[in-house]
Amino acid sequence: MTRSAVITGWAHSPFGKLDDPDSETLMARVVAPALAHAGVAADEVDGIFVGVMNNGFQKQDFQAALVALSEPGLAGKPAVRLEDACATGSAAIHAALNFIEAGRGKIALVVGAEKMTAKATAETGDILLGASYRKEEASVEGGFAGIFGRIAQNYFQRYGDRSEELARIAAKNHRNGAVNPLAQFQKDLGFDYCNTVSDKNPYVAHPLRRTDCALISDGAAALVLVAEDAASDAPRAIRFLATAHANDILPLSRRDPIAFDGARRAWIAALAEAGLSLNDLHLVETHDCFTIAELIEYEAMGLTAAGQGHIAVREGWTEKGGKLPVNPSGGLKSKGHPIGATGVSMHIMAAMQLMGEAGGMQIDGAERAGIFNMGGAAVANFCSILERAR
């Protein structure tokens, strides 16, 4: 089933340690440019959907009300804020789609942002632990990196040490990010650097090294959704062939922590809705908050069987010239991971590919793209499949 709204425009700030003091100024960077890119006036917007996790990154909250401060034409427009941990941006997109499909409006503005670098590293780590089950997991050493370190340990115990494959994933994503002008880290580090523990690449949460972990980032991204029957004059149109959202139980103690079952169910549902197989996709933007997450996601999406994700790495399947390029943007690992902006960014990166506007990141002949964005340790799992409508 093709969804009844299309992406008609977008804007994306650089990701990194930015001078912007808060999410309000970050969102102001992208709202007007996204509307202009879509050829939409602010007063034509019917609803605003904002994705910001916050959870203590800044004292000012009520994020949905901040968008109109930079664009007076948005004043009085219904605005709502979504939060679903690291999947916050995708939650905002899916809510905007539902708004249009329910007939509540024809045009929706989606904005995702996060200001993370103003806090000390230890405080940032504690804020991010809000996406874990604190009653059981708050004491894990290393914060969220420690949680994924435990996931990696469990995976290695069951399937063997895959540190080398994790380093190859990191090297791939840094190589891809080196040609992404919006990425926080635009340097090809190479496999040897990523595979070697050193003063510059120490263990963060064994067996994860610094190069196995996504960056702490500031940034914002925005896109415009228009009902397809109202988008005939739009400058571009990217349609949703499918969307899916599947949750898993929050505490890792109550599930198999390396199965990523919610991710698997989201992918199965999205591919079934689109009437496609994974072989019909030309690229995937997936949630590599840590390299172990990307490895397990290969298995969850059905690229390999459980425990066999290393085959995709070794055979080069997920490289830009492989059978299914994964994270040609550099992923969260290189592009950066400002929590609320991440899901919106992933959709924009895919849309750029489908429009043939991805520059050095471009995958030749890209017609369909998959996006997987998750909140927490594979708790909230969002999958989208996009195709260029014109």
> Residue 280 has what DSSP assignment?
G
Tokens of 312: 């995709």
Contact 170, 292 (CB under 8 A): no
**Residue among 15, 28, 142, 95 at smallest CA distance from 380:** 95
* Distance between CA atoms of residues 335 and 315, nearest Å: 24
Active-site amino acid positions: 86, 337
* Distance between CA atoms of residues 312 and 45, nearest Å: 43
DSSP annotation string for 217-267: -BEEEEEEEEEGGG-TT-S--EEEEEEEEEE--S-GGGS-TTT-HHHHHHH
Contacts of residue 312, Cβ cutoff 8 Å, sequence gap at least 6? 298, 303, 304, 318
Contacts of residue 164, Cβ cutoff 8 Å, sequence gap at least 6? 195
Contact 361, 180 (CB under 8 A): yes
Contact 266, 382 (CB under 8 A): yes
